[in-house]
Amino acid sequence: MAEFTLLKTQGRARRGRFTCAHGTVESPLFFNVGTQGAIKGGLSAEDLKNIGCQFELSNTYHLHLRPGDEVIRGLGGLHRFMAWDGPIITDSGGFQVFSLSELRGIKEEGVTFRSHIDGRKLFISPEKSIQIQSNLGSDIAMAFDECVANPSPREYVEESSARTTRWLERCVRELDRLKAAGGCINTGQVIFGINQGGTYGDIRVEHMKRIRELDLPGYAIGGLAVGEPVQVMYDIIDAVQEHMPSDRPRYLMGVGTPSNIIECVARGVDFFDCVMPSRNARHGKLFTWRGTLNIKNAGYIGDSSPIDPGCSCPVCSRYSRAYISHLIRAGEILGLRLCVMHNLFFYNELMAAIRAAIELDEFDRFRREYSQLLEQRI
């Protein structure tokens, strides 16, 4: 089972605590994304502990393809497989309905894919998605949904949102069936529902009202940060959050920049995930408390200072900008590892700072000081 406790609010910003089968975490929090059971950039489960990760996210679709969810189940589940004893959330594979649009076909029964690896045909239904996530043994299984492109025709978005509701109901029934049959590695696994509706606020609100009736342990807002203007994203969150249960965690999927996170915490969001910190790091783009820097810039070749003088991560505590610049320019794998480690530490520290600000009734000041500052390039 899972339980969310709302500890404090400041405006719409929420300080909470979430307990699930593999531990208790503090929110607002950031899911560190390890799509295939690992953080791209060479970070291990031990590294994640050292950089303040509370919750890891892996992807159903990718792990189903390789090494196979049955293989992972046979090895005791994803926690044992990747040697991570903290909570894990698994994406349902629904985002691949969007991102692999040229390789799939959608029907009421589910989605037919062409594997991006070898082109073989496979089928994922809501039931199959939950079966895979059950084999993985995650703590939170995300419902199978369709993420539509923004913008999309209103008629199609209405049809898609209604189908996503029906798929959610099928996901819930399937997890109940698996638990009753004694077939779950993680008997405490729970499902979060996902709100969809494109950029149509009224469709979003009606969809949220409908899925709220299922009384799930948590709810996500999906299908944003996929091409729409950022203010449109904020407007959708403003509209939907009023209809989300106040005693359940609110998860904004796939977002975002440090400024996005601060602004969305101000709008009542509790959980976040994004590949940005690790992806940007692999290109030498690093986050600091004064903005972002590109370590590939020539100005850092002889710079003996750390990436961020105000950062206490294992990288900034030991290595210079000059050394990391050299590693990235030379194509050394260590350079990628150190950059990813720093960026994920920064994101986890950002969440800790947000939590502290809410506790001290200083979140409004924190927002004014950092929301725009962290968008700057230095």
Q: Which residues are catalytic?
A: 91, 273
Strands 13-20 and 23-27: antiparallel
Per the structure, the count of domains in the chain is: 2
Predicted pLDDT at 60: 94
- Taking CA atoms, 330 is separated from 136, 139, 284, 301, 326, in Å, by 38, 40, 12, 12, 6
My answer on whether 285 and 194 are in the same domain is no
Mean pLDDT along residues 183-206: 97
Instruction: Select from 258, 274, 290 the last residue of a domain.
Output: 274
Q: What is the pLDDT of residue 97?
A: 59
Domain limits at 292?
281-375
* Whether residue 121 sits in one domain with residue 245: yes
pLDDT at position 100 over 80: no
Summarised one tens digit per residue, pLDDT across range 37-66 is 999 999 999 999 999 999 999 999 999 999
The pTM assigned to this predicted structure is 0.97
Single out the residue in 259, 274, 289 at which a domain terminates: 274
Task: Let me know whether 188 and 233 are in one domain.
Answer: yes
60-75 residue pLDDT tens: 999 999 999 999 999 9
Q: For the chain, give the mean pLDDT.
A: 95
pLDDT single digits (tens) 6-46: 999 999 999 999 999 999 999 999 999 999 999 999 999 99
Residues 120-141: pLDDT tens digits?
888 899 999 999 999 999 999 9
Shared domain for 93 and 199, answered yes or no, is yes
Pair (127, 203) in one structural domain = yes
* Among 274, 289, 322, residue at a domain's last position: 274
